[in-house]
């Protein structure tokens, strides 16, 4: 379960996120909505364990993430949290396969080429497994970043605005894909969006609009 308590984040004097209480049960889905600047990316970075909030507690399956040392938190993230950020951060000097192998290696799990192949098949990128990221279309890059996020079967899968640059059909496909990936491994799925097309796919919705003003 994800449990956020009294989370506040300031970058400078402005409050970017203020959330008194948020719980998401294991295996559940949550859609985080809000206008640009409402704090969606900030919240997802906090949930991913890469941005320590100014105040508050984040517990993921009973582990208080920001009480861990940075190296323990990195290890925890590698095994338990899969992230698809807006900037995909694929390693340009490595092929698709090697980017995925690196994700396994970094998490300290056994490099498993068979699993990578199966995943690429499911994501329809088998013909690109030996290509480099800059040889891929945006959609293909995004599927590689989804593959990388799910390759270690994380208990928490996060995606920041995964559909913002996609047309309606591809947007539907990506949401369905993320849901399928999360369901298969029983992962909690948290997606952020300002894209109203996505709303109909989720029953559990958190709207961040106006939250910063409330905190001031």
Q: How far is CA 87 from the centre of its chain?
A: 11
Given a contact cutoff of 8 angstroms between Cβ atoms, the answer to whether 30 and 44 are in contact is no
- Smallest gap from residue 70 Cβ to Mg ion (A): 24
- Interaction of residue 16 with ligand ADP, rule CB under 6 A: yes
- Smallest gap from residue 54 Cβ to ligand ADP (A): 12
What CA–CA distance (Å, rounded) separates 23 from 135?
40
- Binding partner at 18 among ligand ADP, Mg ion, none, C-beta below 5 to 8 Å by kind: none
Map the footprint of ligand ADP across residues 39-78, applying CB under 6 A: 39-42
- Smallest gap from residue 158 Cβ to ligand ADP (A): 13
Q: Which residues fall within 8 angstroms of residue 5, CB to CB, at 6 or more apart?
A: 20, 21, 56, 57, 59
Judged by CB, which is closer to ligand ADP: 29, or 160? 160
| Alpha-carbon separation of residue 31 from 105, 156, 158, 172 (angstroms) | 30, 13, 10, 14
Judged by CB, which is closer to ligand ADP: 27, or 37? 37
What CA–CA distance (Å, rounded) separates 49 from 35?
23
What CA–CA distance (Å, rounded) separates 167 from 197?
10
- Binding partner at 34 among ligand ADP, Mg ion, none, C-beta below 5 to 8 Å by kind: ligand ADP
Judged by CB, which is closer to ligand ADP: 183, or 209? 209
Given a contact cutoff of 8 angstroms between Cβ atoms, the answer to whether 163 and 143 are in contact is no
Judged by CB, which is closer to ligand ADP: 17, or 129? 17
Judged by CB, which is closer to ligand ADP: 41, or 140? 41
* Chain residues in the site for Mg ion (CB under 5 A): 40-41
For binding to ligand ADP (CB under 6 A), which residues are involved?
Answer: 11, 16, 34, 36-42
């Amino acid at each position: 379960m994800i449990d956020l308590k009294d989370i506040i984040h300031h970058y400078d004097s402005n409050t970017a996120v203020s959330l008194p209480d948020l719980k998401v049960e294991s295996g559940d889905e949550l859609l985080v909505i809000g206008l640009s600047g409402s704090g969606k990316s900030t919240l997802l970075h906090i949930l991913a364990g890469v941005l320590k909030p100014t105040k508050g507690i984040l517990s993921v399956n009973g582990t208080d993430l920001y009480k861990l040392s940075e190296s323990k938190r990195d290890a925890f993230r590698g095994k338990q949290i899969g992230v698809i950020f807006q900037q995909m951060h694929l390693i340009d000097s490595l092929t698709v396969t090697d980017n995925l192998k690196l994700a396994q290696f970094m998490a300290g799990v056994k490099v498993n080429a068979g699993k990578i192949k199966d995943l690429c098949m499911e994501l329809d990128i088998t013909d690109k497994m030996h290509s480099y990221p800059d040889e891929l279309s945006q959609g293909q890059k995004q599927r590689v970043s989804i593959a990388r996020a799910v390759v270690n079967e994380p208990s928490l899968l996060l995606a920041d605005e995964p559909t913002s640059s996609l047309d309606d059909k591809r947007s539907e496909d990506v949401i369905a894909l993320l849901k399928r990936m999360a369901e298969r491994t029983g992962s909690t799925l948290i997606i952020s969006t300002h894209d109203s097309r996505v709303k109909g796919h989720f029953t559990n919705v958190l709207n961040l609009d106006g939250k910063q003003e409330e905190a001031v």
